[in-house]
Structure 1
Amino acid sequence: PATQAGTMFELLAPSDAEPITLHERDWRRYAEQSQSLIAELDSKARRAAAANQADFWQQRHAWARDVVEQKTPLDVPASEPDYPQLNTIDRFINARLAEAGVEPSPLTDDFAFLRRTSLDVRGVLPTQNEIREFLADESADRRARWIDRLLNDPRWADNWVGYWQDVLAENPGILKPELNNTGPFRWWIHESLLDNKPMDRFVAELVVMNGSRYGGGPAGFSMATQNDVPMAAKAHVVAKAFLGLDMTCARCHDAPYHPFKQSELFGLAAMLNRQAIKLPSSSSVPQTPGGRKPLVDITLKPGESVAPQWSFVSLTQTDLPASALRSTSDDRERLAALITSPTNDRFARMMVNRVWHRYLGEGIVASVDDWHEAEPSHAELLDYLGREFVASGYDLKHVARLILNSHAYQRAVASDESSESSAGRLFASPKRRRMDAEQIVDSLFAVSGKPMESEPLTLDPEARRPVTTFLNLGVPTRGWELTSLSNERDRPALALPVAQSIIDVLAAFGWRDARPNPITERESYPTVLQPLTLAHGSVVNRVCQLSDNSEFTELCLQDVPLDRLIDDIYLRILSRLPNSDERAMAEALLAEGYEQRRLPNGQFVMKPPLRTAVSWSNHLSAEATTIKLELEKAARAGDPPSGRLEASWRERMEDFVWALVNSPEFVFVP
């Protein structure tokens, strides 16, 4: 800023930059533009860094396409004349439906289609302008073009990060990050998805574990501190995520219900370790001489050494062409190549089944990450999608596009549970689903247009201590960026009240603040805490407040008829128009004072900045606790109301928004 007395306050910027008005809305626009510029520069730098390996991966993908082309051509079913189809997927599905005599559900309406696809692809609701633009488009291919638009949205990456955090057990800790945690490899996941990195390369980078350990790179995956055999833990994660081998029990003994010996898991662990591993006694079931015989088989004894080995020759043989490896002596690279080899059908089928499960609510293989004795409902379809995945260069978006454009995906959800279950796993209709926890949080902030405004996720904001003691995970802007706040002792001076309010919503809907083990499906049963959190929590309170940083406030200030405003609010929150009864209730609530709602001399009310000097170094001070209690009070109060809307009418509009957000349909995918 300028420092001379009497001069105008200015922001330091390039000489040709437009002046920035000292106004909350204009500042936010400038900040968003700056972030976009930084993101583009970062993207260019990543592309440049990745280019030096482009030839290798092009050769790998050429080999993969050759393998697919040499396979026996698939027998694609003929079209069923009385069953609707939009692409090849539907021919496989319709053949089974016709055989069973089951009628598929009709296509879902446009409103439900827009809401479903927007949530499934980018994790947030469509805006009212996007919905109106789509409805005004009368072209025959508007759904396909909408899907392409969503797949090109960078928020595609945000919507997948939380999924892979669960699958790969990403578990960073902001306090004592080496204490039974992983590193924060979340940013590598996000950037990989943002760049649409081929998934074979994604797996290879994860398994090789190069890069930053604490700064967000795949080396963070290597951390499994306080674990007697860290690489055994990682082998379990990798096998379950990409091969459908649940080797949980083989961690300490031969698996009693799966055909896995402990030595097979430790063979993978030794490959990750790049050398033999000796089994510690803590990773075995103790046997007392003369004592009771264990109920499980123990074929690997404590002290025995296990060399790097691939035991799963039923999936793929160990022979690899020289072009498939950059270093033939690196066991990690060899393991990654074996997992992602085009001769290993399991990997490709696992990946496409994950996408199918996420979009239709149930997998072609029902047990997504445990394929022991699991039978696919549509084996030929699974093979078809797997081949498409490999031939596309392991492009996850290619598979997503195929599924999203199918009639099977775009059908209406069954109107009742009995009809949904009667069709079995024939995919006559998609399964009814609730939003993921991250989708709920992200959509709440998206519909209000408000930033999260959380505190930085750290207990050491002045960075006085090394990253081995404290991590700083930055200021979150999407749900996946949250983590455990490491305040189990509930010390008020260490509280991060805004972040905690967001975590409360996430946790109520199945999100885990700690991920000690890999999972694919979270707990999804309803609890009384879920509606209570939405009805009385700080997040929804703030979302519903018509403050001057709210998109709802801007909508209310527009010069439009009340009917149009009601439509806009419904479209923004529920992605549909109100029915006649809903419209009548809304008009009865909002009609009085509508013409006088805008105050001609109303002032733009800015939220005062919340500053804190509290950190780990001074949190034992009594003043630190006082400061944090004041911050907690401010977080509960939310944002100051706009001075540009008449108070009584504004409060009724806030009640209207609150009622729609708390309606049961808000949290469900239509």
Structure 2
Amino acid sequence: MRVVTFCLAALLATEGLSRSATAGTDPSIAVTFERDVEPILTRAGCNAGACHGKASGQNGFKLSLLGFDPEFDHVAIAREAGGRRILRARPEQSLFLQKATAELPHGGGRRIDPSGPFYETLRRWIEAGLPRTAAEAPKLEGVVVEPAERRLERDESFELRVTARFSDGTTEDVTHLAAYGSSESTILAVDPQGRVKAGRFAGEATISARYEGLFANCDVSIPLPGEVPATFYDALPRSNFIDGHVWSKLKKLGLTPSPPADDAKYLRRAYLDLIGRLPTPEEARFFLDDPSPDKRPRLVDRLLERPEFADHWANKWMDLLRPNPYRVGIKAVLNLDGWIRDVFRRNLPYDQFVREIVTARGGTFEQGPATIFRDHREPIEIAPVVSQLFLGIRLDCAKCHHHPFESWGQEQFYEFAAFFARVDRKGTGLSPPISGSEEFVFTGKTGSVTHPLTGKVLPPKPLFGSAPLDADPESDPREALARWMTSPDNRYFAKVMANRVWADLMGRGVVDPVDDIRATNPPSNGPLLEALADDFRDHAYDLKHLIRTITASWVYGLSSEPNDRNMADTRNYSRYYRQRLRAEVLLDAISDVTGVPDVFDAAPPRSRASTIWTNRVPSLFLDTFGRPDPNQDPPCERTSDTAVVQALHLMNSPGVHAKLTSDEGRVAAIAKGGDPPEAIVETLYLLAYSRLPSREERGIGESLFRDPERDRLGAVEDLLWALLNAPEFVFKD
């Protein structure tokens, strides 16, 4: 009988029908809960987060999100509330069916067609006594989507086919039970039946098909209309491997790159990217006047050795690791800040940097990384932080249920958290708002993590592969975790850091968001990301080497000016993507240009914004331009969006006005000097934009000095104020 059933299932699959769609009408197919009913509930959206799958359920009826816990769901349907949802003697009168078909009032509307095959499957399941799928039944092992890759023209469409593979070698067409999503819905749409339709825009998107917690992808490209000769791409410059991967992608989509940026734009871009400050007029003149063909890579080498490099890049990482000093203590946070800055001054290899954090021990007044474990005190608190920061895997969802967009389940979450179960502490603990005492972090002799549903004690286990614990029972499980994370075999480790740095320098990550690497959030250029990760790993996780490699590419030096074949591109690096300056970089730039430093609480005189050790230091400017909320737990995200309040702040801020009008500032010194107007205009443009003014700009600037209603000081103030308020100053181009 079983052979006949599988043969019939195979025949139905060849005709494009799913087992669950035919189980109700074919008596030879036994209907069971896990194999037939649960997929229908997921397909109909009954267990979605907006319906009965949300944390509190809906109108007293709760299901596990997307069917991650069949045991719970079976009990909820069959036995909860005295079994009132099921009427076995008259299945069609079961509340379970009458609600789903909207024969009785239902807030979710009609989810099941009463004349369709899914209804009959559910009816037969009730009639058969609500059977579970046998434990020895074949297990789902994989999902395949066909085609795996497709090229479309505008407005063209096609249908997907999704096949499930089981442990006994059988397959099943589950196209009508899969859930679909598009990575770029404006480029490519997919309907609930798996029909894919191209939009009006050229580009590339990935369609993800999800069935029972497993995913498969179909990559679809929509090239720009019109032909570009292959010889065009063959002739494009290639400074290193990055260019080849980017040109290959542009060729596939019919996009063409913008021309190179001029020296002034490259100069300003490199300074802001690498050390977070503007070049001085003298530095700008030196570079612009240098006729050497290798002056760009030599500039990068010089900048990587500047002391500002460490502060600029440490500031980025403090966003991700910095705890609230009122929670863990001022001295502890200051110590962590100093440790991270020292890491970047020494150019500590990235793998060692991560190992020292993950395995941190010692006093929070001496060992900076220990402060992180003072802040995150429970295994389930530190585990998702570590996985997101250092692996690009967001595990938070799996804490409560199976991850809706990935393959991580609750058991995997708590097994990963078990690596931190024996982290112990000695001291007075936390006493917000003043936690001033030192705390010592060490490896305890005991500690465990239990599954919240089963109560089972779970052993430490990585998300994939293996991480053998040391034979010594006294050893710290975190050591095994650190070895597994930083192993060359762990593709996530190098990939997420390479992606972070690429996003910092190029304006957008190959995977975006940068710390969300998963099958349903595919990279815009997979081969490029793999190559960057390999190069980073092969060069001993040297951050400066990674930065040097990216900045040496032809792609990094492209202009941001679009052409007619790349103006809609926002993810394939056919041009440079402009970015608003980070809050600290912008404030320091204004201070440098005006020659008036800021004064910060709890910081030495003449401190730069990039050296602030905590976001608790008051600064209306930094808050306006998107520094992280000090009350938000790390990892903290900045907002890079522009807002009207930012433009108004630059125009009207008393702080900016005070810098421009200070008697001790650069404006007053220039006005008192003997330089003619044409030299002053040139100096101000070099200060603000690292370039010389155009003929038109010179004329406008010099005309201010001829205005009889404006004195020399007023002319300098007004011109510099105008330059600071232009997009060219606020954005990195």
With the shorter chain as reference, the TM-score category is 0.5 to 0.7
Tell me what 1:172 maps to: 324
Query: For residue 360 of structure 2, what is the aligned residue in structure 1?
Result: 209
Cα distance in 2 between the residues matched to 1:117 and 1:475: 24
Does structure 2 conserve the Cα–Cα contact (< 8 Å) formed by 1:154 and 1:194?
yes
Which whole-Å CA distance do the structure 2 matches of 1:115 and 1:519 have between them? 29
CA positional deviation for 1:484 = 4.5
Distance 1:304 1:147, change over 3 A: same
- Asked if 1:261 is matched to 2:409, the reply is yes
Partner of 1:349: 495
Out of 462, 466, 470, the position equivalent to 1:317 is 466
Over the aligned positions, Cα root-mean-square deviation in angstroms equals 3.3
Q: Does 1:652 align with 2:688?
A: no
Selected match of 1:524 from 640, 643, 649: 640
1:662 maps to 725
1:483 alignment partner AA? T
Indicate which of 585, 605, 615 corresponds to 2:700. 585
Q: Aligned-pair distance for 1:153?
A: 1.3
Residue pair 1:276, 1:307 contacting (<8 A) in 2 also: no
Number of matched pairs: 478
Q: Percent identity?
A: 32
Deviations 1:602-628 (A, max 9, x none): xxxxxxxxxxxxxxxxxxxxxxxxxxx
State which of 319, 331, 337 in structure 1 corresponds to 2:477.
331
1:238 paired residue number: 386
132 and 476 in structure 1: CA distance in 2 versus 1, 3 angstrom threshold: closer
Q: How far apart, CA to CA, are the structure 2 residues paired with 1:524 and 1:567? A: 31
Instruction: Pick one of 497, 500, 513 that aligns with 1:367.
Output: 513
Counterpart position of 1:289: none
What is the CA–CA distance in structure 2 between the aligned matches of 1:327 and 1:445, rounded to whole Å? 56
Q: Deviations over 1:193-217 (max 9, x none)?
A: 1211100011011112235525681
Q: Give, in angstroms, the shift of residue 275 of structure 1.
A: 6.4
Once residues 506 and 275 of structure 1 are traced to their aligned partners in structure 2, the CA distance between those partners, rounded to angstroms, is 36
Distance 1:188 1:276 in 2: 22
Spell out, residue by residue over 1:169-192, the C-alpha distance to the aligned partner (whole angstroms, 9 max, x if none).
Answer: x1222x45469x977622222111
**TM-score, length-scaled by structure 2:** 0.60
Question: 1:450 and 2:596 equivalent?
Answer: yes
Q: Identify if the C-alpha distance between structure 1 residues 115 and 394 changes in structure 2 by more than 3 Å, giving closer, same or farther.
A: same
Does the 8 A contact of 1:199 with 1:395 survive in 2? yes
Alpha-carbon separation, structure 1, partners of 2:285 and 2:240 = 27
Distance change in 2, residues 1:661/1:207 (3 Å): same
Contact 2:536 2:545 in 1 (8 A): yes
The 3-state SS of whatever aligns with 1:453 is: coil
Q: CA deviation at 1:517?
A: 3.5
Higher-strand-fraction structure: 2
Q: What amino acid does structure 2 have at the position aligned with 1:222?
A: F
Quickly say closer, same or farther: Cα 1:570–1:159, change in 2 above 3 A.
Answer: same
Task: Give SS of 1:428's match.
Answer: coil
Match of 2:257 among 101, 104, 108: 104
TM-aligned CA distance change 1:484 to 1:439, over 3 Å = closer
Distance (whole Å) between structure 2 residues aligned to residue 303 and residue 388 of structure 1: 44
- Equivalent residue for 1:60? none
The aligned counterpart of 1:385 is: 532
Which amino acid is the alignment partner of residue 578 of structure 2?
A: R
Please report how far the alpha carbon of residue 538 of structure 1 lies from its aligned counterpart in structure 2 after TM superposition: 3.4
Provide the residue aligned with 2:270 in structure 1: 117
Q: Deviations over 1:207-257 (max 9, x none)?
A: 1223552568111111237xxx53322211110011111012233444344
Q: Report the residue type matching 2:461 in the other structure.
A: W
Residue identity opposite 2:324 in structure 1: P
Task: Deviation per CA, 1:513-565: give whole Å up to 9, x if none.
Answer: 315334575322222210122122233123312432x3444444544332122
Flag structure 2 segments of 5+ consecutive residues without an equivalent: 1-229, 426-449
| Residues 95-494 of structure 1: pairs in structure 2 closer than 5 A | 95-168=248-321, 170-173=322-325, 175=326, 177=328, 185-214=336-365, 217-224=368-375, 230-274=378-422, 300-301=451-452, 304=455, 306-313=457-464, 316-319=465-468, 329-373=475-519, 374-415=521-562, 420=566, 422-423=568-569, 425-456=571-602, 476-479=607-610, 481=612, 483-485=614-616
Distance 2:368 2:385 in 1: 17
Q: 1:272 to 1:558 in 2, by over 3 A?
A: farther
The one of 504, 521, 526 aligned to 2:620: 504
Q: Which has the higher helix share?
A: 1
Consecutive unaligned residues of structure 1, counting only runs of 5 or more, are 1-76, 278-298, 458-472, 486-498, 595-646
User: In 2, distance between residues paired with 1:92 and 1:326?
Assistant: 46
Q: Distance in 2 between matches of 1:520 and 1:349?
A: 20
Q: Tell me the CA shift for residue 505 of structure 1.
A: 1.3
User: How big is each residue's C-alpha offset from its partner over 1:130-161, in whole Å with a ceiling of 9 and x where there is no partner?
Assistant: 11000121111011111111111121122222
Deviation, 1:403, is 0.4
What is the CA–CA distance in structure 1 between the aligned matches of 2:268 and 2:280, rounded to whole Å? 9
Q: Check conservation: 1:308, 1:331, Cα contact below 8 A.
A: no
Q: 1:262 to 1:368 in 2, by over 3 A?
A: same
2 CA distance for matches of 1:234 and 1:669?
35
Bigger RCO of structures 1 and 2 (CA < 8 A, at least 6 apart): 1
- Distance, in Å, in 1 between the alignment partners of 2:717 and 2:363 is 46
AA partner of residue 622 (structure 2): L
Aligned to 2:111: none
Whichever residue aligns with residue 478 of structure 1, its letter is A
**Alignment check: 8 A CA contact 1:349 1:383 kept:** yes
Q: Residues 214 and 650 of structure 1: is their aligned pair in 2 closer, same or farther, counting only changes over 3 Å? A: farther
Verify the 8 A CA contact 1:270 1:306 in the aligned structure 2. no
Q: State the 1:113 CA deviation.
A: 0.7
Report the CA distance shift for 1:81/1:211 in structure 2 as closer, same or farther (over 3 A). same
Work out whether residues 356 and 403 of structure 1, in 8 Å CA contact, stay in contact via their aligned partners in 2. Answer: yes
